[in-house]
Copies of this chain bind each other. A is one copy, B any other.
Amino acid sequence: MKYIFTLFVWALSLSAQQSTTASARWQITADFYGTTRYYRLDLDQRDAAHLSGTFSGTKLTGALTGGHLSLSGKADDGGDTRFDAMLQDDALTGTLSFGDPSAPPLVVPFTAILVKPLVRATPQTHEFNPTAYYRQFSPFYKPVLAANPGDTIHTTTVDAGGSDAQNIKRIAGGNPQTGPFYIQGAQPGDTLVVHIDRLKLNRNTAGSDDQLVQSALSPDLAVKTRDNNKGVTWKLDLEHMTASPDPSSEHLKALNVPLHPMLGCIATATSPGGAPPPTGDSGSFGGNMDFNEIAEGATVYLPVVNPGALLYFGDGHALQGDGELNGNALETSMDVTVTVDLISGKRLGFPRVETEMQIIALGYSGYLDDAFKDATSNMADWLMDDYKLTPSEVAQFLGVAAHYRVTEVADRNSGVALKIDKALLKNLSAPQKSQ
């Protein structure tokens, strides 16, 4: 699924005498009292003196005269928003003033660069051998590699405990991540597309345990399982692609479960304006989603908040039942191959996944009831945006087409997936979804 942001950019000129236009999407970097924040500004220039635009949902009007840009508008809460900047060499520099109408306006310096249409280079494959791993989905770690949209990255991940393919501890545990990967041309407000080409298991053991997480325990079951607290090693048979506990207890001796490798974590870095989430957390940025359909062949869609997107992944699971009921799945290291892409100008509220047969909207929240609402809202937006359904049609369609799964309950956030069969989507007589 592609969404081409319709962008008409004419030559910009410092000379007010020439016919110029600032009609474009701008990526703003603001210095917010010492903290960097990114914003998106869309401008449309009717003629030399008349500009209109949108900034964080506020409609703006103004002019570009003699290289000086001046814009203002009223936010929904009545607060004034003003831009005052100079245009030079496809860049704006100036001040942005906004805030609550009952308080003095916040005035912050900013620079803005023109978001250029995505130009696709010949796809390349990058080999990356990580030497460090990170335990925050942070925008502050230096990118390890820059890839273009269309490029493929082959790398490795350590297990959730920080051990590699040789079972050698490389870093303390807690879902250490490989990355961040910088995706050229990714701007705040875009969607990062990550196609999972290959998840190759690279050792014959995985670690788990025999407890059930608190979110799965009724009082009755808590009493019955009160003595569970044991690490369990699973042997991975990479030839037959099955797993068995080893050593095994009495009744699990013949248990041989098909492997289904997946990534527990996949994320874009969060805003530099807030504290980066630890790699046990999940949210709009993706993160520790622990969804067992984020596997080979799946495509994951994530919102871009930082320039370059800053893609992280890790926490490979050789196999995981729904919910990650043990707190750990079958935690192991992996060789990972992904191909990245961008949907310019489209930003998601929550991650989405596409598999061969289904589209899947995810929701993550502290309670399953709220995650259920988030997943439903995410899918409703998908159907309204890409399949042009009205709200009434969304309700009728979901009423017969929705499949809900619980993805995980092991962490601070629980997750719900809303899945729709692509076979049914084909029957929607929609204006074809944007390419």
Contacts and interface: CB of A to CB of B under 8 A. Distances in A.
A373 B319 contact: no
B395 A210 contact: yes
A330 interface: yes
A130 to B, nearest CB: 28
30 contacts: A210-B393, A210-B395, A212-B376, A212-B394, A212-B395, A216-B372, A217-B373, A217-B377, A218-B376, A221-B380, A225-B395, A228-B395, A232-B396, A251-B388, A251-B390, A252-B429, A254-B428, A255-B397, A255-B427, A256-B427, A321-B401, A321-B403, A323-B372, A324-B399, A326-B396, A330-B400, A367-B369, A368-B372, A406-B406, A406-B416
Contact of A368 (B209, B228, B369, B400): B369
B257 A401 contact: yes
Given A228-B392, A230-B392, 19 more contacts: A208-B399, A220-B349, A221-B373, A224-B384, A224-B391, A225-B391, A225-B394, A227-B392, A243-B400, A245-B396, A249-B390, A253-B429, A255-B428, A320-B399, A322-B404, A323-B372, A367-B368, A369-B369, A369-B409
Sorting the interface of chain A by its residue count into under 10, 10 to 19, 20 to 34 or 35 or more gives: 35 or more
Contact of A325 (B228, B320, B398): B398
A323 B368 contact: no
Interface string A43-58: 0000000000000000
A388 B251 CA distance: 8
Nearest to A221: B377
A374 interface: yes
Interface in A317-352: 319-326, 329-330, 349
A175 to B, nearest CB: 17
Given A323-B404, A326-B399, A369-B369, A393 B220 contact: no
Interface in A8-61: none
Given A399-B329, A429-B253, A406 B409 contact: no
Main secondary structure of the interface of A (DSSP, over half): mixed
A399 B325 contact: yes
A405 to B, nearest CB: 6
Nearest to A232: B396
A215 interface: yes
Contacts of A211: 395
B325 A215 contact: no
A250 interface: yes
Interface in A384-431: 384, 387-406, 409, 414, 416, 424, 427-430
